[in-house]
Amino acid sequence: MIIDCHGHYTTAPGELHVFRDAQLAALRDPRGVVVEAPRISDDQIRDSLEKAQIKLQRERGSDLTIFSPRASAMSHHLGNEAASLQWARVCNDLIYRACELYPDNFVGVCQLPQSPGVAPGRSAAELERCVRELGFIGCNLNPDPSGGYWTSPPLSDRQWYPLYQKMVELDVPAMVHVSSSCNPNFHGTGAHYLNADTTAFMQFLTSDLFKDFPTLRFIIPHGGGAVPYHWGRYRGLAQDMKRPPLEELMKNVYFDTCVYHLPGIELLFKVVPVENILFGSEMVGAVRGIDVRTGQHYDDTKRYVDALALSEADRRLVYSANTRRVFPRLDALLKKRGR
């Protein structure tokens, strides 16, 4: 069984974006308009998935995608807390419906209703709703709800602790995932995403967060940003700063395989313990084209993993066992279904 730990609903019906635009426009309207949740039919959902994610699952040979709302559209920097909450609920409810329609193909991870300057703990209720009522197994946590100005405290700050307490209580991990950038310095998928990954790792390395929360787990996507390429730098920095060795940190931190070429994947597996690598493709996502050199999609990361000389045991770790360990609610769900 092959589980893709990183998929977004980037192909959601246009009604969703019409709603978001109307919602944000209403915030600027002094009359205080209320915008209703969009009406999207089951057929629309089916159509949007079957010709995209499900088709690609079939073509590429993955079975189940851990599925969350489009990351770039979370745009926590827009609107206010109430708007973020309504938007998160609408997006999460849509993910729920996708998972209900295709329970073998998708399992849900939620968007949090974060907003700049708002205590992260206020996202705990939506997380709990998604996990307890909608059967979701984790969340995407935005380390920079300002969208590229980095005005929130680091992930190690105690302001985040109420949210972490809820994650621990529910036994769900978070993928550290920023949204789009409104800072003209940062291209979204080409800079902001990778920078956030790198930044989060260093925040973890320099803090005692996992002493306070020994069972808290984070997935750093996009292959860990710059981290594996600079693994020696991080080992050396940890040593110079008299921090524990990276092995200690890697009890709580995991990387996905969203690295879009073989040499990058080779490096990832060379330096990062295989127990910490979760298969992921980010499809349909950041890079959609076909590499003219190989004739294959850049984001068909399974090809790169398959090209490695991994033992069967290691392959099983990366394709399913690690992910089931990091997402215990997924493991329980699959066991219940006899998978």
Alpha carbon distance 111, 89 (integer Å): 8
The interface region with its own copies, picked from 17-25, 43-51, 158-166, 189-197 by CB under 8 A, is 189-197
Task: Out of 50, 247, 282, 312, pick the active-site residue.
Answer: 282
Of 85, 123, 127, 132, residue with least CA distance to 110: 127
Considering only CA atoms, which of 169, 164, 178, 173 is closest in space to residue 208? 164
Using DSSP, state whether 288 is helix, strand or coil.
coil
Q: Which of residues 269-288 bind its own copies (CB under 8 A)?
A: 270-271, 286-288
Residue pair 322/276 in contact by the 8 Å Cβ criterion: yes
Let me know if 282 is a catalytic residue.
yes
In angstroms, what is the minimal distance from the CB of 279 to its own copies?
A: 16
Footprint (CB under 8 A) of its own copies, residues 203-222: 203, 205-206, 222
Cα(211)–Cα(61) distance, rounded to whole angstroms?
Answer: 39
Return the range that interacts with its own copies (CB under 8 A); candidates 161-169, 187-195, 210-218, 324-332: 187-195
Considering only 118, 119, 122, 298, the residue that binds its own copies (CB under 8 A) is 298
* Inter-residue contact 319 to 277 (CB < 8 Å): no
Q: Does 225 bind its own copies (CB under 8 A)?
A: yes
Query: Which letter, b or e, does each residue of 181-191 get, where b requires 16 or more Cβ atoms within 10 Å of its Cβ?
Result: bebeebebbee
What x-and-dash track marks residues 139-178 binding its own copies by CB under 8 A?
----xx---xxx-xxx------------------------
| 223 makes contact with its own copies (CB under 8 A) | yes
Question: Burial level of 289, CB count in 10 A (0-12/13-18/19+)?
Answer: exposed
When asked if residue 55 is in the footprint of its own copies (CB under 8 A), the reply is no
Count, residues near its own copies per rule CB under 8 A: 59
Q: What are phi and psi of 209, to 5 degrees?
A: -50, -45
Binding site for its own copies (CB under 8 A): 143-144, 148-150, 152-154, 183-187, 189-191, 194-195, 198-199, 201-203, 205-206, 222-223, 225-226, 228-237, 239-240, 259-264, 266-267, 270-271, 286-289, 291-292, 298-299
Which residues have a catalytic role annotated? 282
